[in-house]
Structure 1
Amino acid sequence: MSDPNRRAAVSHLGSKRAQRKKASVTRVVRGTEFPLRAAPTPQGQTPLPANVGSNYNTDWARRFPARVARRVARDTVARALVRYYAQPTIKGVDRLSELDGPAVFAANHQSHADTAVIITSIPEPWCNRLVVGAAADYFFGNRATSAISALFVGAIPIERTALNRRTIDKAVTLLRSGWSLVIYPEGGRSRDGWGQQFRPGAAFLAKQAGVPVVPVHIRGTFDILRKGRAWPRRARSVINFGRPLDFGEDENNRRFTRRLQAAVEGLADETATGNWFAARRRLHSADSPGIEGPSASAWRRRWALTEPPPTDGGPDSPAVAKRRWPYV
């Protein structure tokens, strides 16, 4: 082989070696980037904005100036609106006398009016250190609604459709540091006034933080601001607090969630019938009417909600001519 050809071959071989070395170095550098920097976004996916949705940072809303503004708004504007539109009757506050420290307040969810009713009904000291678990995709969709939700409601973003470690850690940290949490275990508002099956999120947060769960039942807010309605109308509401529930030694999240839902169903029975003793007996015998309502057509389910319950709380009340839900 002539010298020019040999020099060209050596040059080509050196170029290939240099390219392989460069590629190897690039792979090593890229391999060390992930723990130090955010992982690259997969092709075809758009990254979530830095301060929107579950990424929204609500720490500023728990500083002193924001807490003062929220308390003033709650005790003036919010209470006035709730008193006018919801005319609430608050029951079961005496059951909170056993509660010492923060708790998860777990309530059924009928409408957007629920949050205003519950944050103006929870007594001191819990109402002064209170956050509300709000749907990240709805209340934290943009920076304007995020700021309003965090400031005036005390909301923190909660993912409804997927597990998000950041939102879970934030809620648990707040509970451990003395903040109470309002959450709706159904995961969404009622479609027709009846409830939905509870999800284990509230149980999981309470167990991780080591705090009790207070079952809460809200009645009447569906008529105030039902799903799809843009403007509220006046209706009477009742909010009923139950005794705090603690995890049993051998109890997992699902079992606790079933017990929590049963407690809320017992409160619903108590509110509907007005008979505490009869409602407690049905709760202990696992015979409370379910909050999910009858398996029937839409008009029948709605009719069951509007019918008055038996006056003495029993299925054989002589004051009622025909049997009504939940005694049908």
Structure 2
Amino acid sequence: MTDPNRRPAISHLTDKRSKASLSRVVRKVEFPLKAAETPEGETPLPPNTGANYETDWARRYASRVTRRLALATLGKAVIQYYANPTIRGLDRLHDLDGPAIFAANHQSHADTLVMLTSMPAPWRHKAFVAAAADYFFGNRTTGALSALFIGAIPIERTSINRNTIDKAVTLLRSGWSMVIYPEGGRSPDGWGQEFRPGAAFLAKQAGVPVVPVHIRGTFDILRKGRNWPKKSKAIVNFGRPLEFAEEDNNRRFTRKLQAAVESLADETATGNWFAARQRAHTEDSPGLQGPDTAAWRRRWVLSENRDEQNETSRRWPYL
């Protein structure tokens, strides 16, 4: 039985609704915590994020030295620990002179560090990376870190942005090499995706060759959706540079580039360069996309291919 003389609790001390949280206060406060509104009649400045992020400062001397030291020390150590990459095909680049576009398949975020630490020194030290504007340049912090440590520039994935294209072409013409992933995004399941014509367009506009590159093993290191890497074995295979011929158009050159990467993937998987070249000549190289079947079947075939590759060593052709 309740005591009729008992005083009720003081409501304003116990009612949670009356307590103003810090987040509510911050949301209500405008300037200086929030940018002031543009005066009426004035055109607002474009945001310094996404495709509008300016990266010229990342190619100045101090930034280049910082990036070079970071890649040679921490970047190299991290990649050696987690990926321990085997690098193949460097002899195919002996005749390459000047800037080039290095176009590789894209399995995970580990690809960029693997590429930048595996490329030969003349191109590695003067390279920039085509990075998704919506992901790497979504805010100023990630944009600054991406530009400084991997030399990234923003590239639109879903639309054509003349400013970003002109920036890439200008850098290529001025002696910088480019790392690009023609698939336009990371693999969702370990298999490749159809190449987009961006690399072909840039090669034609800048007049530079394209080096096909196949990267294997990075999906196991840092697959899409994983927040922390795990150790695996990576293989980077460089192909012969491709020139944009007079009879080529963007679509034809893109097919040629994808076929070259598929041949490199075949060579890496089988360890037999001669057989891979024969299949490439007859246009019978296994595709990067994998079987068109259920997701579980695609994962099973991929794991089966990995087991076969682990048991396969490089073999010289039988002559």
**Structure 1 residue 215 and structure 2 residue 233: aligned?**
no
> What letter matches 2:77 in structure 1?
A
Once the two structures are TM-superposed, the CA of residue 269 in structure 1 deviates from its matched residue by 0.1
What residue is the counterpart of 1:99 in the other structure?
Answer: 96
Distance 2:233 2:105 in 1: 17
Shift of 1:144: 0.3
Distance (whole Å) between structure 1 residues aligned to residue 53 and residue 134 of structure 2 = 11
Matched with 2:151 is: 154
- Structure 1 stretch 180-189 or stretch 300-309: which is displaced more? 300-309
Tell me the equivalent position of 2:261: 264
Task: Supply the AA of the counterpart residue of 1:281.
Answer: Q
Q: What displacement does 1:298 show?
A: 1.4
> Which residue number in structure 1 is paired with residue 179 of structure 2?
182
One-letter identity of the residue aligned with 1:89: T
Instruction: Show structure 2 runs of 5+ residues with no match.
Output: 1-40
Provide the secondary structure at the position in 2 that maps to 1:98: coil
Tell me if 1:140 matches 2:140.
no
SS in 2 for 1:125: helix
Aligned length: 271
SS at match of 2:296: helix
Q: Which residue of 1 aligns with 2:233?
A: 236
Q: Conserved in 2, the CA contact under 8 Å of 1:224 and 1:233?
A: yes
Candidates 162, 169, 174, aligned match of 1:172: 169
Amino acid at match of 1:119: L
* Deviation sequence 1:121-177 (CA, Å, 0-9, x none): 001100010000000000000000000000001000000000000000000000000
Q: What amino acid sits opposite 2:142 in the alignment?
A: T
Aligned residue number for residue 283 of structure 2: 286
Matched letter for residue 260 of structure 2: A
SS in 2 for 1:245: coil
Counterpart residue identity of residue 300, structure 1: R
Q: Which amino acid in structure 2 is aligned with residue 232 of structure 1?
A: P
Asked if the contact 1:131/1:155 (under 8 Å) is kept, the reply is: yes
When the two chains are superposed, the root-mean-square deviation of aligned CA atoms in Å is: 1.8
**Does the 8 Å CA contact 1:185/1:202 hold for their aligned counterparts?**
yes
**Hey, what's the Cα distance between the residues in 2 that align with 1:100 and 1:247?**
16
Other structure's SS at 2:215 match: strand
Output the CA distance in 2 between the equivalents of 1:268 and 1:187: 18
The answer to whether the 8 Å contact 1:279/1:313 transfers is no
SS at match of 1:120: helix
| In the alignment, structure 1 residue 121 sits paired with structure 2 residue 124 | no
Match of 1:50 in 2: 47
| Whole-angstrom CA distance in 2 between matches of 1:197 and 1:110 | 13
Instruction: Please report how far the alpha carbon of residue 50 of structure 1 lies from its aligned counterpart in structure 2 after TM superposition.
Output: 2.9
Q: Deviations over 1:3-29 (max 9, x none)?
A: xxxxxxxxxxxxxxxxxxxxxxxxxxx
Q: 1:82 to 1:311 in 2, by over 3 A?
A: closer
**Aligned 8 A contact 1:278 1:313 in 2:** no
Q: Secondary structure at the match of 2:141?
A: helix
Q: 1:72 to 1:284 in 2, by over 3 A?
A: same
State the distance in 1 between where 2:175 and 2:282 align.
35
Computing the radius of gyration from Cα coordinates, the structure with the larger value is: 1
SS, match of residue 222 in structure 1: helix
Query: In the alignment, is residue 89 of structure 1 matched against residue 69 of structure 2?
Result: no
Residues 245-277 of structure 1: CA distance to partner in whole angstroms, max 9, x if unpaired? 001211100000000000000000000000000
The offset of 1:49, in angstroms, is: 4.2
CA distance in 2, matches of 1:91, 1:130: 20
- 1:197 maps to 2:200: no
The amino acid of 2:146's aligned partner reads S
Residue of structure 2 in register with 1:306 after alignment: 303
Distance 1:312 1:90, change over 3 A: closer
Q: Deviations over 1:194-226 (max 9, x none)?
A: 000000000000110000000000000000000
* Distance (whole Å) between structure 2 residues aligned to residue 169 and residue 243 of structure 1: 26
Question: Is 1:66 matched with 2:57?
Answer: no
Could you tell me how far apart the structure 2 residues matched to 1:209 and 1:281 are? 32
Q: Secondary structure at the match of 2:280?
A: helix
One-letter amino acid of the structure 2 residue matched with residue 217 of structure 1: H
